[in-house]
Structure 1
């Protein structure tokens, strides 16, 4: 199996820019990682859609996801650029679709448009978004996925749901990729999220690098695909791994091999301290990626 690889750029969310004082230099450090990936064998670069740091909110820089996506689209020329994943609660789905269409054009068709239900409660409340019960977050997410697809594929889409409505919004241009921008749905929810993947998505992201969980979620996804008549093999199955810089090359390769054996065909890495040192990024590209080509 040929495996493709992506890498998160240092955006601030995981406290990964705190050793740089100047915000311009912080942004350029993020961009520099994107450019380094663009020059190598990486398929993609990724951002988080969050406003506050983890594991707790601190007074530190976190660059906004879609703004950064659009600038990285112009600072690179080859890699795809995605969000793992966009938070549904932060933008009306019609606006999300319009933003994504614009960025797909700006990147010459290199957008991986990520969407998920969202989970970071304090962040929602801090920014003035209502924090719904889980059933309502998932209900709104289901409607959003349907609206986004309509916005990307219909000239006069109409939708009247419990949570959202649209009435023939014009979305031109719709994007570059056909039939629509590459749509990545993140999350392993078995009753809603994985059903939406089977019906609507180009790709999923499951398991958080845990082989057992990847197997479990992908088996459920395959069942949903069978139910709706979707070809399971046409869906990209991604997972995310946090690389420990102390790992040997053999340990790193073994970790990747474990998620590939579990069914993942796309691996997205988070590399700590890559803002300050590109060497782990370059070493992975030269020594690990070729093993899975």
Structure 2
């Protein structure tokens, strides 16, 4: 089992003047601690707190993190399909994969934050249309990464020549991760197009709901003849680790126990969503020395 980290909050004690330095230091600490992946939200307005708080653009932030690190994988959790034209998004993700020597996840979803769409003048279509656009974006991504330059003609997107040069380092392409909690359209798209699925368990869905969603995904995979175990399953969890397990936190032993339970359900990676602990050295020390070495040895059910 693996552990990743999602960065959601960019309002830190040193203020905006040192935001870049602190974000780069955070990425380096995450890598040194042995975390397998580093994720950022892809939003234009902050939604963990007031909209006016600092919010970095996701793909630019990942490019900066790539220059500060050497090993850790990088991804958005997740990019809304409405934010960018899909062909440009594929080009952006490919660029990050090339410059990071093959460390990119392609995280994508339907988008949900209507306020930032309206605020910046980005169209916010119906949920039905967003799912249709997501499927076309996935088709475009796979076609471009396959090197197929034949015209693409979809309902929403038309590409005369979907050229993608240079191509991604990872073969056949960066892992496509779809994020979402739906139990109908989302698992169908994951089963058909994706390499990974993230369940945003913030706020807590409840373990029974997580089990049901995994079972639903397995059913969709069986229906189309795809091995369920091919898909990496990750879960986004709010889990603050402290030495004493003070209120609002868990001890290293409790964190390990939670990860072991999730692994028993078939979860491959737990992505920690922490808010104010990013600059807390104790958190990274505990993860590096007591949590990650144990969790990495936990066998994931079905693997």
TM-score by length of 1: 0.92
* 2:209 is the alignment partner of 1:213: yes
**Which residue, 7, 20, 31 being the options, matches 1:9?**
7
8 Å Cα contact 1:50-1:62 kept in structure 2: yes
Per-residue displacement from partner, 1:180-209 (whole Å, max 9, x unpaired)?
111111113233221111111111001516
Q: Give 5+ residue unaligned stretches, structure 1.
A: none
Residue 101 of structure 1 corresponds to which residue in structure 2? Answer: 94
Residue 86 of structure 1 corresponds to which residue in structure 2? Answer: 79
**Which residue, 267, 271, 277 being the options, matches 1:274?**
277
Query: What's the Cα RMSD here?
Result: 1.7
Q: Give 5+ residue unaligned stretches, structure 2.
A: 242-248, 298-303
Provide closer, same or farther for how the CA distance between residues 241 and 152 of structure 1 changes in structure 2, counting only shifts above 3 A.
Answer: same
SS of alignment partner, residue 38 of structure 2: strand
Residue 291 of structure 2 corresponds to which residue in structure 1? Answer: 288
Residue 19 of structure 1 corresponds to which residue in structure 2? Answer: 13
Q: Distance in 1 between matches of 2:162 and 2:48?
A: 39
User: How many pairs were matched up?
Assistant: 286
**Which residue, 253, 264, 274 being the options, matches 2:267?**
264
Query: Shift in Å at residue 41 of structure 1?
Result: 1.8
Residue 222 of structure 2 corresponds to which residue in structure 1? Answer: 226
Per-residue displacement from partner, 1:223-273 (whole Å, max 9, x unpaired)?
111122211111100001111343222322232233222221111002232
**Which residue, 111, 135, 145 being the options, matches 2:138?**
145
Residue 192 of structure 1 corresponds to which residue in structure 2? Answer: 185
8 Å Cα contact 2:106-2:177 kept in structure 1: yes
**Which residue, 234, 241, 248 being the options, matches 1:238?**
234
Larger deviation, residues 150-159 vs 245-254: 245-254
Q: Distance in 1 between matches of 2:230 and 2:60?
A: 30
Provide closer, same or farther for how the CA distance between residues 150 and 24 of structure 1 changes in structure 2, counting only shifts above 3 A.
Answer: farther
Q: Distance in 1 between matches of 2:161 and 2:127?
A: 29
Q: Distance in 1 between matches of 2:96 and 2:9?
A: 18
Per-residue displacement from partner, 1:119-169 (whole Å, max 9, x unpaired)?
011011111111111111111111111111111113304221222121222
Residue 195 of structure 2 corresponds to which residue in structure 1? Answer: 202
Q: Distance in 2 between matches of 1:10 and 1:280?
A: 16
Query: Shift in Å at residue 109 of structure 1?
Result: 0.2
Residue 28 of structure 1 corresponds to which residue in structure 2? Answer: 21
Query: Shift in Å at residue 11 of structure 1?
Result: 4.6
Query: Shift in Å at residue 19 of structure 1?
Result: 2.7
TM-score by length of 2: 0.89
**Which residue, 45, 67, 77 being the options, matches 2:70?**
77
